[in-house]
Amino acid sequence: MEIILATFSALFTVVNPFGAMPVFLTLTQDDTEEHRNQQALKACMYMVGILAVFFLTGQYVLNFFGIRIHDLRIAGGLMIMKAGFDLLTPGANKKKISPEVVEEGQQKEDISFTPLAMPMLSGPGSIAVSIGLFTTSLSVFDMVQILVGIVLLAAVSYIILRFSSRLTQFMGKSGLAALSRIMGFIVLSIGVNFIVSALTALFFTEQ
């Protein structure tokens, strides 16, 4: 249970479904509630597939290109820290997405894979965290628990997106801004932890 909760907490702040709510509502503003819920469900299912694939195969891809897990954690930590800084700045209560992508999404019938699942929910930061969760010391049971944590994350993300309209009205701009800063601080801390743990492993463990 600890591994499931640790996986959920490590990924939730990086995925940040609350930050995806405004863009999701913009892209689905002309859709029926049934179609909007369907898009949210498909996007979360795609997110499970993307994060699970990178968790299970990411280490082998890194080995193919000669990249150590420590290198990935440092690079991922820098990206996550940048995302945390962005969330801490005023007006950063939603995920940043280019106007061209928004316009393209409004013209598409199905936005569940792009841009909703990728890159909004499963972007570079969450993929880096997902790959970083894999270690050779994990047992099969541990890996199953991590996958369950990813599924739990998708379920919570779906609930948030499904009720995004009500949540936005309930929390208001000030509530979303406060939540953004809290999430940003946690994301920033995760990025620092990634870098510190990688540097510690590089300079002390390998000596």
Q: How many domains does the chain have?
A: 1
The tens digit of pLDDT for each residue in 108-167 reads: 678 889 888 988 899 888 998 898 888 777 899 999 999 999 999 999 999 999 999 888
Q: What is the pLDDT of residue 144?
A: 95
Residue 5 has pLDDT above 80, yes or no: yes
52: number of Cβ within 10 Å: 17
Residue 96 has pLDDT above 80, yes or no: no
The tens digit of pLDDT for each residue in 38-64 reads: 999 999 999 999 999 999 998 888 888
One-letter amino acid for residue 50 of the chain = I
Q: What is the pLDDT of residue 39?
A: 93
Mean pLDDT of the chain: 85
Q: What is the pLDDT of residue 205?
A: 60
Residue 203 has pLDDT above 60, yes or no: yes
Q: What is the CATH number of the domain that holds 16?
A: 1.20.1250
The boundaries of the domain holding residue 72 are 2-205
Give how far Cα 127 sits from Cα of 49, 76, 102, 151, 177, Å.
11, 9, 22, 15, 25
